[in-house]
Amino acid sequence: MRIRALAHVSLAILVTVGIAAGASCREAEQLMSPPTEVAGQPAARFSPLVEIVATDLVVPWALAFAPDGRIFFTERPGRLRVVVEGQLQAEPVAQLPAVAVAETGLMGLALDPAVEENGYLYVMYTYRDITGGLRNRVSRLTARTYAPSWGSAFPGQTHLCQIKVICITHVSPARALAPA
């Protein structure tokens, strides 16, 4: 049962990453292609809105958008941060024991589809095992309550799987979470 649940979570994360990547590619193609004209009307120009909501971050890596509008993101050294109503919260939501070497650290982040009910967030980060070796860990963080003031409200984490790090470059949470 636990393996099946892990497989479902892994597949959901992989599908989400795949959809996001596909959407990004399509959006990039649309932005780079010349505007099209509608019969007799001038071509419309797309003007993206860029708003800076956080500065002085240390290698932000993954983003997850909550249903209530909050933006969760990871920083490579192990901080899970959140932007609420356009403002970066001063304190991290969680600090994980991530090891940032080459391209490792706190890399992956996904919100459970039922995050508002269960408070589950999934993260992937690199850590040192008891032998000093590097491993990637997929963990589920559980918040006591799903509230804007989560702070450090994580009573702990459930380790779902651990993967030995073979190469410290091109470490991808999408590849690591793919079902075998």
* Architecture of the 2-35+44-176 domain: 6 Propeller (2.120)
Q: Judge whether 105 and 125 are in contact, CB under 8 Å.
A: yes
**Residue 24's pLDDT band (cuts 50, 70, 90):** very low
pLDDT, position 115? 84
pLDDT above 50 for 178: no
* 54-100 per-position pLDDT tens digit: 889 999 989 999 888 889 999 999 999 989 888 998 888 888 888 98
Averaged pLDDT, 152-163: 57
Cβ atoms of residues 162 and 177 within 8 Å: no
Which burial class, exposed, middle or buried, applies to 90 when counting CB atoms under 10 A from its CB (0-12, 13-18, 19+)? exposed
- The arithmetic mean of pLDDT across residues 110-115, rounded, is 86
